[in-house]
Amino acid sequence: MRVLITGITGFAGSHLADILLERGDVELHGMERWRSKTDNIDHIKSKIVMHECDLRDASSIRKVLELSRPDRIFHLAAQSFVPTSWSAPAESLTTNIIGQLNIFEAVRHLGVNPWIQIAGSSEEYGMVYPDEIPIKESNPLRPLSPYAVSKVGQDLLAYQYHQSFKLNVVRTRGFNHTGPRRGNVFVESNFAQQIARIERGVQEPVIKVGNLKAKRDYTDVRDMVRAYWLALEKGEPGEVYNICSGTAFPIESVLQKLLGMSTVKVRVEQDPARMRPSDVELLQGDNGKFVARTGWKPQIGFDKTLRDLLEYWRERIGAYADRV
Ligand code: GDD
């Protein structure tokens, strides 16, 4: 089976590549932009057919599909950081929505019909009221950032292309996921990196934070990418599925859990630059629809995920103490 992962050099993409290569029955294709960082896949890059591509360029993705002829596409490439979508809204909308449009049009142009997973997000729900918890797929979408709007756009574009052209698309709405290789801009990874830096003596014992009251529903990235695979194995084309654990933690308690895994004593300081014009305060999902359809269950508990993430940063900072 030929599989193409967009965003293979990123966080979730690299973990999906790991599990697909372990299967032994997949010819794996990936895309990278000119001068992309590839550290996340350096350990497996020789086993992947890499293509240079920029999704914002329609001719570029058409060429990759012609060469790779995938049976399945996992579309994970995106501008994925909420605050960047306020500083660069047009770029976020273009990369996420037009990038996906270019994939769909290339598929139609070539006359192929691969199964395509579209990575939506719990951010699409945005403003959620306490009586709507746990959030089902049928909840209204009330996006609160340009990023969230871009994910709603991707989600609905996928729905529309399925309805109009019978594309075999399965939409996933992933809630927060984390683990080793998580980008250092995201909250739990940023806190773990700061703790590792403080342990190493390269940062004063002050942890900068933003809104600690928000609540998030975390899944280990390794469980999340198993879910992506199952979405195409067993999901219904055109349908949308929440992928989440069903439990939410306040960000404050994520910080306390990480601090509990270290012996450093720190002062916690709010950094106004880390506050958002409008934050999503409460995300706790209902995974019942996906579990009933696929039998998926998260296997890795949140404490292990956080410990693995902290270890990841300890190792990196040990190796590159002068550069992080
Ligand atoms: N990044 C960051 N840094 N967030 C902070 C900080 C901080 O220092 N302090 C508090 N927060 C709060 C944010 O305000 C937000 O409420 C929460 O922590 C989580 O922020 P992020 O880790 O940046 O993730 P996100 O929830 O906005 O988005 C992530 O999850 C989505 C799925 O729900 C990203 O991975 C998205 O790409 C993904 O779609």
Who contacts 160 (Cβ-Cβ below 8 Å, separation ≥6)? none
CATH assignment at residue 118: 3.40.50.720
53-81 average pLDDT score: 97
Let me know whether 144 and 207 are in one domain: no
Instruction: Quote the pTM value.
Output: 0.97
Helix (H) or strand (E) holding 85: helix 82-87
- pLDDT per residue as tens digits for the range 68-89: 999 999 999 999 999 999 999 9
Let me know whether 18 and 80 are in one domain: yes
Residue pointed to by tokens 């920029």: 54
In this structure, the residue with its CA closest to atom 25 of ligand 1 is 82
Who contacts 253 (Cβ-Cβ below 8 Å, separation ≥6)? none
What pLDDT is stored for residue 318 in this prediction? 86
Assigned domain for 289 exists: no
**Given a cut of 80, is residue 168 above it in pLDDT?**
yes
CATH assignment at residue 251: 3.90.25.10
Render the burial of 162-185: b for 16+ CB within 10 Å, e for the rest: beeeebbbbbbbbbbbbbbbbeee
Let me know whether 235 and 192 are in one domain: no
Are 259 and 224 in contact by the 8 Å Cβ rule? The answer is no
Let me know whether 38 and 90 are in one domain: yes
Let me know whether 101 and 201 are in one domain: no
Reported residue count of the chain is: 324
The alpha carbon of 245 and the centre of ligand 1 are apart by a number of angstroms equal to 17
- pLDDT per residue as tens digits for the range 23-44: 999 999 999 998 889 999 999 9
- pLDDT per residue as tens digits for the range 182-239: 999 999 999 999 999 999 999 999 999 999 999 999 999 999 999 999 999 999 999 9
Let me know whether 267 and 147 are in one domain: no
Question: What are the tokens at 55?
Answer: 């999704």
Query: Residue 209 pairs with which residues in a beta bridge?
Result: 270
For 58-72, 81-95, 181-195, 306-320, which range has the lowest pLDDT when averaged over its residues?
A: 306-320
Q: Which of 121, 150, 176 to mutate to test the pocket of ligand 1 (most atoms within 8 A of CB)?
A: 176
The alpha carbon of 103 and the centre of ligand 1 are apart by a number of angstroms equal to 27
Question: What are the tokens at 217?
Answer: 């529903």
For residue 269, give its domain range.
187-216+247-282+300-323
Let me know whether 162 and 275 are in one domain: no
The alpha carbon of 215 and the centre of ligand 1 are apart by a number of angstroms equal to 10
Q: Mean pLDDT for the chain?
A: 96
What pLDDT is stored for residue 56 in this prediction? 96
1-5 average pLDDT score: 98
